[in-house]
Structure 1
């Protein structure tokens, strides 16, 4: 006797055996009980979720005669009458299944519809089941519209598709649509356990969990993988053989990678990646498993109460809870994003393991401590260039300034060439640009020194009394287009700082401490933002009290890191943060200082004699956003 695969052997034969589609079963059962039956049904969903199975059960419910042959329409087909047995065997004359993937033309549909004029031969209803209906051509859809809208009372249509977007709306409007959902891994695992128990096949729970995750919501895929795993394991389902068959990554490798990333241990990350390469484990599967673990870690970090409810008997749950405590929440989110995007980059890498290594090392490059470590490694090398720095010092007294006073001797022979009117071109708008021709030849043959006397007059006349120059208002050029005003406001930083700033004595101390911590790179990212946006309210010995305006900054992880940085710097051992009005913070001080530097830079540019001359003679305007102050020394 030939072997019947599990997916066919354990196909549900009634609604009570259906798994994971309770919303569809309930709707159809109620309709059958009250006999409020529609003439066309459309079942949609991904592969292996039960579309064809529901169609066959519905056909049996409509045509079941009961064990005694006196039954009627029911939601619980008996399975023993002639109609039920023939439908299960695929030989019921009044139940027709059409595969639209291979019979998608109008001729096939017309031949099916020709049977609609005949009443049922053996059953109560004719049932036309069209699978993958979205594959039909537009002509075929149009051919069935009229019959689908007003079929005979003894005819029922059942359509199934994995892509309902390709079905015309004219067909959708004529059907009752039911969406069969992908099944949860827990549901698939539970059903696999029942099937294997009926088959007397020993199976480990972890092996079933791997098969349920690999099925990705499809019960048929899960049963097919189970058949393969039984053959691979010689009649037994154990975790290690199933993992090797699926190419799945052992969670211990995933935990090792995440733990090493949390500790900043690049050597362990690289060694683990090489181990995955040696065992031939999939890099994409590694990133997928890491994403699953990181998602559970993020949930535990966002809801700490769930960590206390972790089952101590579940080793994976305990390991995930431990990693959630070891890795900060912001790094968890960053690593999760890197894993998701890294899977798309694997195909672009020289090989997938090199791509996996780069994705993992990318987090180490963005870790808050990475910048400090890199600065410490590079600090000896940049320390050497300051030694030769005195070399440029001789440049100011170098003979470079000497040649400028020596320049006047050359004008002696040029004096005959440049007559008296030469000084007058200080006003570029009135004097002719080319010099007058002389007997020696055209101006392009003259020596370059002939034009040097014109350059000094441009600068000396531009430096008269300051009061005379500043009297000219400097205009700011508006940007063209409908966004002139918003962009001008965005690019003119010399505006008053909206936040109020009231200097306090504790603010001076806190400002100096924060600058010290930032310069030493002891605080970064969210911790630095907390320090910049907070105000030092009081100091009680080694206990400091801070105040912030936003509750989002007062996170336990950021607060603890700031306290550790203060303790390491020898300032405070205890730290409290309250939410309230802030009037003096390092961020406000920096904003005020930046606004003042911007204002002074704008004043310098607007009062510059050359700028004034360009405005006066050529109508020049300052481009918005083009003035930027120099950064302060030591920044």
Structure 2
């Protein structure tokens, strides 16, 4: 007889054998007992948590006939009648399983729905089970909507998916949805113990703990790993063999790493990282184990009375007492982020070493310890005596007020840096750290230079062009020269005599004054006052019959061709909006039907 893997051999046959999904089992059992049956069920959850198993047990509960053939709908199928045995064997004619991953088109779904018009042949209900239903196409979902909403009374739909976000809401609203949760490692470990006891295989508790954690919430993955571990260990499950098979890192390495990090011993950290490399252990597993231990340490630090069945609890409690709580949180965060960096480095062990060194570098107080030897070796510095180090720093002299005009400024002595002190108020011997004080920013001083060497540099100051009060940039006022300048610029723009920056100079400027051979323009932005732009505008004016020289000043512009154009456009827009708002038909639509005029949709003709 061929060997049957544990995941199939120990698949639950009834709701009583289901583990870790009590919330789903209780709801379905009560519904079956009270005969409150829905026509469509949707089971969601990650891989290996029991979606297909629950659907088969539900199908058996609906069609179970008991050994005497007189049974009805029940929450405890007998497992020996023809319907139960054939459903377990996958040959019950009224139970159809469709794999939507390989049958995702509208034709396959339509073929399945054509069977819905026929009543059950052997059982009490027809059950259509569609696995990985999120893989169906949009047309396939649409094809089954009507039948899914109002199926015949003898038809039940059971849908299963690992990604319910991809299922249309029109389908979700027609189903009762049950979310099967990932199982806790303790639940998986307990179930593995019962399975191995039934198989007659001795297993180490630590080996079962490693398998339960490696399954990551999936019972099928746990049983598959157990099969692999039995084959690897020659029929035995020992911690060393399982750890080597999974590539897991022994917690002894983790404890040594945390001890070295707590002591700031970088040499030991690098040595342990090299040991992990030589033994071929997983770098990601090392960081994962460190994160798990640090999490337990954080719990012990926050709740010292918390109980735990972990055999490493005494060692974790010792490390929790040796490492401050803030450093524990910092190391835990860095371990989590470090796992994402392993794939970016050319060598994952080099990345692991960098993560561990980063944990050491960001340890509070590491910066001060690292900078102390550098200050000792700096040439030109003398070590202060303890008496001098303990003396308070001299008072910083207050600078005398500077006169309004000073030919030279005397150099002021730099303040003496104060020695750094520890929490007890004492200065560590042989360590002097500069104290940086935030001071008022003072002008640059000319030191140690005779007064005759100071040369005055002329400063170009932009004169104020006008004494008029400042106006807001949007204010527009008509001036005497504005009409003439606007007409002249419009003529130049229409004939394309000015383009680019010269056109912008003409549009944004105001004609302040003009005489026979000289015109004065005013602009607000310095960027428009360019020699090339002024030259082009001057040549265009001369070509148009105005032989003048242009002068440009910077100031407030209240009347320019651009402002006149903007004012004219705003007036046209206002008139167009008034025409629409005053239209009788528009007013009737607004009054009778609540119509609204979309802002910005009205444009003048």
The TM-score, its normalising length taken from structure 2, stands at 0.66
Per-residue Cα deviation, 1:432-481 (whole angstroms, up to 9, x for no partner): xxxxxxxxxxxxxxxxxxxxxxxxxxxxxxx99669xxxxxxxxxxxxxx
1:520 counterpart residue number? 420
Partners in 2 of 1:615 and 1:254 — Cα distance?
70
1:96 counterpart residue number? 96
Q: Say if 1:189 and 1:601 are closer, same or farther in 2 by CA, change over 3 A.
A: same
TM-aligned CA deviation for residue 76 of structure 1: 0.5
Answer yes or no: is the 8 Å Cα contact 2:189–2:209 preserved in 1: yes
Answer yes or no: is the 8 Å Cα contact 1:48–1:220 preserved in 2: yes
1:322 counterpart residue number? 318
Answer yes or no: is the 8 Å Cα contact 2:43–2:178 preserved in 1: yes
Partners in 2 of 1:18 and 1:197 — Cα distance?
18
Runs of at least 5 residues in structure 2 that lack an aligned partner in the other structure? 384-401, 407-416, 430-434, 446-455, 467-605
Listed as ranges, the matches of 1:463-474 within 5 Å are none
Per-residue Cα deviation, 1:490-530 (whole angstroms, up to 9, x for no partner): xxxxxxxxxxxxxxxxxxxxxxxxx97xx5374xxxxxxxx
Q: Say if 1:377 and 1:176 are closer, same or farther in 2 by CA, change over 3 A.
A: same
Q: 2:359 aligns with which of 358, 363, 366?
A: 363
Partners in 2 of 1:124 and 1:372 — Cα distance?
79
2:263 counterpart residue number? 263
Runs of at least 5 residues in structure 1 that lack an aligned partner in the other structure? 388-462, 468-514, 523-561, 571-589, 620-635
TM-aligned CA deviation for residue 173 of structure 1: 0.6
Per-residue Cα deviation, 1:570-610 (whole angstroms, up to 9, x for no partner): 9xxxxxxxxxxxxxxxxxxx99x85xx44x759x9xxxx99
2:393 counterpart residue number? none
Q: Report the 3-state secondary structure (helix = DSSP H, G, I; strand = E; otherwise coil) of the residue aligned with 1:377.
A: helix
Partners in 1 of 2:463 and 2:375 — Cα distance?
51
2:50 counterpart residue number? 50
Listed as ranges, the matches of 1:201-350 within 5 Å are 201-306=201-306, 309=307, 314-350=310-346
TM-aligned CA deviation for residue 305 of structure 1: 2.9
2:528 counterpart residue number? none
Partners in 2 of 1:249 and 1:142 — Cα distance?
50
2:175 counterpart residue number? 175
TM-aligned CA deviation for residue 568 of structure 1: 8.5
Answer yes or no: is the 8 Å Cα contact 2:421–2:428 preserved in 1: no
Q: Report the 3-state secondary structure (helix = DSSP H, G, I; strand = E; otherwise coil) of the residue aligned with 1:379.
A: helix
Answer yes or no: is the 8 Å Cα contact 1:310–1:318 preserved in 2: no
Q: Report the 3-state secondary structure (helix = DSSP H, G, I; strand = E; otherwise coil) of the residue aligned with 1:151.
A: coil
1:496 counterpart residue number? none
Answer yes or no: is the 8 Å Cα contact 2:420–2:427 preserved in 1: no
Partners in 2 of 1:384 and 1:108 — Cα distance?
87
1:378 counterpart residue number? 374
Q: Say if 1:12 and 1:36 are closer, same or farther in 2 by CA, change over 3 A.
A: same
The number of aligned residues is 423
Partners in 2 of 1:191 and 1:248 — Cα distance?
22
1:354 counterpart residue number? 350
RMSD: 2.9
TM-aligned CA deviation for residue 300 of structure 1: 1.3
Larger radius of gyration: 2
Answer yes or no: is the 8 Å Cα contact 2:421–2:427 preserved in 1: no
TM-aligned CA deviation for residue 66 of structure 1: 1.1
2:113 counterpart residue number? 113
Q: Say if 1:610 and 1:84 are closer, same or farther in 2 by CA, change over 3 A.
A: farther
Partners in 2 of 1:310 and 1:196 — Cα distance?
24
Q: Say if 1:310 and 1:618 are closer, same or farther in 2 by CA, change over 3 A.
A: farther
2:79 counterpart residue number? 79
The TM-score, its normalising length taken from structure 1, stands at 0.63
Q: Report the 3-state secondary structure (helix = DSSP H, G, I; strand = E; otherwise coil) of the residue aligned with 1:178.
A: strand
Per-residue Cα deviation, 1:149-200 (whole angstroms, up to 9, x for no partner): 0000000000000000111111111100000000000000000000000000
Listed as ranges, the matches of 1:401-480 within 5 Å are none
Answer yes or no: is the 8 Å Cα contact 1:294–1:332 preserved in 2: yes
Q: Report the 3-state secondary structure (helix = DSSP H, G, I; strand = E; otherwise coil) of the residue aligned with 1:189.
A: helix
Q: Report the 3-state secondary structure (helix = DSSP H, G, I; strand = E; otherwise coil) of the residue aligned with 2:160.
A: strand
Q: Report the 3-state secondary structure (helix = DSSP H, G, I; strand = E; otherwise coil) of the residue aligned with 1:245.
A: helix
Partners in 1 of 2:179 and 2:355 — Cα distance?
37
Partners in 1 of 2:403 and 2:188 — Cα distance?
89
Task: Write 1 or 2 for the structure with the bigger share of helix.
Answer: 1
